[in-house]
A and B are shown apart, each in its own frame.
Chain A
Amino acid sequence: MQPFQFQSPTKLFFGEYTAASAYESLKELGSSNPLIVTDANLVKAGILEPILEAFPKNGSGSPVIFDDVPMDSDLHSVQNAVNLARAKKCDGILACGGGSVLDTAKAVNICLTYGGNLLDYQGLNNLPTKLLPLVAIPTTAGTGSEVSLVAMIKDSDEGKKLLFGSRFLAPDLAILDPQMTVSLPARLTAATGLDALTHAIESYVALAVSPISDALCLEAMRLLFKSLERATTDGGDIEARSDCLVASTMAGLAFTNSGVGIVHALAHATGARYGTHHGATNAVFLPFGMEFNLEAAAERFATAARYLRISTNTDDQKAAKDLIEAVRNLILKVNLPLSLKDLGVPEFKNGDLEELAMLASTDAAIMFNPKESTQEDIVAIYTRAY
């Protein structure tokens, strides 16, 4: 067994209607005036109401809410949230939303805690001390950001995504309340579910695997294969929602310790260039990335295929191919596109492919891929996936 490290500083609560306990939990963590980070859709959908009701009615005034988070967190939005939190003297953060909201909250926490310029904290393990209390309530079942040690923030002026990675970025508490995901529309349920499945599959074959993350990955895959289609077709099916939510957190715990791989690198580059949704973009690349990795990962893919009862084939190559086929079928069943063209990416022009390949080959995710890739390999996958 290779040496490994596994950490998760985040406490987890799971249960229907547990989101209402967020304020109480923040108080226990030492924050009585948290900044609530969320987005306008969620406020409009009334998702926040049970959480807000638990805030004290008297005293320091109404809860401080920042709801201007765009899809894919960006620097401007982080700065605006920080300004509000400073003006209102907030002493902690309650993040309620999808990955964009959670990542924004993590970056806001860096600025609130240390002051100074967020850009100085870019990098890996580059945060000096613990941050202010942060409670995360995911409303999508996908990114795993509620337990992950990373945040990605878009620098819209430069057209780049900035990476922050540190154990101090993990929220203190993640409240997994499946009711919070019920209003998520079918397409986003499918797309975020495929993000979670991509985490589980990539992390299962990544360079920094461990038996602990293996167990999380396999069980996350099982829950997603079992329930993602149901959660997509019947958003009110709370058992299916619960399976997807817990699976996405398990896959988050796995990838934040073991890494992801080429699928994420290709998707990050595509998302940065064309603004496509992270999960839906991963879905397009997942079967192609698995095929690329077959040489290095057939045995592990085969083990997963047998665990999931997708294949009984004793030949690893064949069982691994059965898993790739099952992934394609699941993507079809949940009505997500299987090609970049169907995802809405415009036809590549001169230089586009080279630029994408450059972005993907220097994306942190690719470091953990089990097989090394050249620029030509990456261009070939982009071309095939179009």
Chain B
Amino acid sequence: MPVFSSSEELLHVMKTLWEAIKADPTMSSQLIDSRLVGQFQFREPDGIITIDCSDGQNFKIIVGPTDIKPVIEMSMKSDIAHEFWLGRISIPVALLTGKIVSKGPTPKALALLPIIRPAYSMYPKILEAARKNVLVNS
């Protein structure tokens, strides 16, 4: 059984998480300074979320398909994304074995990882709250 029961639930959780990252001054300022455009593509259930910091000023979170061309793309099963944010997965091993596919310059993807690491500890609470929210609203 996949961790997320629907694309809607998956995207709600991921969006809430990235909004929390954006609200964190340390993480958001580092991401804005990096001018990174990164896209996470999920499967089973499917979903896309894009982070666009390309202008060096704004932190945009785009849910769903977009015309923006990402510099780095990471695609994975939604269950792997869940493990990733719980900090339970060895990212090097996941990259080596293809559980996470990375497209684009690998150094840029690697520079992103330590920046977003503090969000691992936010994830369980966000997951719990977001799930309740989806249940309430559905």
User: Interface residues, chain A, CB within 8 Å of chain B?
Assistant: 5, 120, 122-126, 160, 162-163, 165, 167, 207-208, 257, 259, 359, 362-364, 366-368
Q: What separation, in Å, do the CA atoms of A208 and B101 have in the docked complex?
A: 17
Chain B residues, CB < 8 A from A362? 107-108, 110-111
Say whether B106 contacts A124, CB under 8 Å.
yes
Chain A residues, CB < 8 A from B96? 5, 124, 208, 257, 259, 368
Chain B residues, CB < 8 A from A167? 98
Q: Given A207-B92, A208-B92 in contact, is the A367-B110 Cβ separation under 8 Å?
A: yes
Chain A residues, CB < 8 A from B135? none
Say whether B92 contacts A126, CB under 8 Å.
no
Chain B contact surface mostly: helix
Q: List 15 A-B contacts (CB under 8 A).
A: A5-B97, A123-B72, A123-B104, A123-B105, A125-B98, A160-B105, A165-B106, A207-B92, A257-B96, A362-B107, A362-B111, A364-B110, A367-B92, A367-B95, A367-B110
User: Does any Cβ of A come within 8 Å of B90's Cβ?
Assistant: yes
Say whether A124 contacts B90, CB under 8 Å.
no
Chain A residues, CB < 8 A from B3? none
User: Nearest Cβ in chain A — how far from B79, in angstroms?
Assistant: 16
Say whether B102 contacts A126, CB under 8 Å.
yes
Chain A residues, CB < 8 A from B100? 124
Chain A contact surface mostly: mixed
Say whether A124 contacts B104, CB under 8 Å.
no
Say whether B95 contacts A122, CB under 8 Å.
no
Chain A residues, CB < 8 A from B86? none
CB contact between B103 and one of A123, A257, A259, A366 (< 8 Å): that residue: A123
Residue of A nearest to B98 (CB): A125
User: Interface residues, chain B, CB within 8 Å of chain A?
Assistant: 72-73, 90-93, 95-98, 100-111
Say whether B93 contacts A208, CB under 8 Å.
yes
Say whether B107 contacts A123, CB under 8 Å.
no
Say whether A162 contacts B105, CB under 8 Å.
yes
Q: What separation, in Å, do the CA atoms of A120 and B92 have in the docked complex?
A: 21
Say whether A122 contacts B104, CB under 8 Å.
yes
Residue of B nearest to A207 (CB): B92
Say whether B102 contacts A124, CB under 8 Å.
yes
Chain A residues, CB < 8 A from B108? 362
Q: Given A123-B102, A124-B96, A126-B101 in contact, is the A207-B90 Cβ separation under 8 Å?
A: yes
Say whether B111 contacts A126, CB under 8 Å.
no
Chain A residues, CB < 8 A from B73? 123
Q: What separation, in Å, do the CA atoms of A362 and B107 have in the docked complex?
A: 5
CB contact between B92 and one of A160, A257, A259, A363 (< 8 Å): that residue: A259
Q: What separation, in Å, do the CA atoms of A123 and B98 have in the docked complex?
A: 11
Say whether B93 contacts A125, CB under 8 Å.
no
Chain A residues, CB < 8 A from B98? 124-125, 167
Say whether A126 contacts B107, CB under 8 Å.
no
Chain A residues, CB < 8 A from B90? 207-208
User: Nearest Cβ in chain A — how far from B66, in angstroms?
Assistant: 18
Complex A-B, nearest 10 residue pairs according to Cβ-Cβ distance, in ascending order: A362-B107, A367-B92, A125-B98, A123-B103, A123-B102, A126-B103, A362-B110, A125-B101, A362-B111, A364-B106
Q: What separation, in Å, do the CA atoms of A367 and B103 have in the docked complex?
A: 17
CB contact between B95 and one of A124, A160, A363, A366 (< 8 Å): that residue: A124
User: Nearest Cβ in chain B — how far from A191, in angstroms?
Assistant: 25
Chain B residues, CB < 8 A from A208? 90, 92-93, 96
Q: What separation, in Å, do the CA atoms of A222 and B11 have in the docked complex?
A: 52
Residue of A nearest to B111 (CB): A362
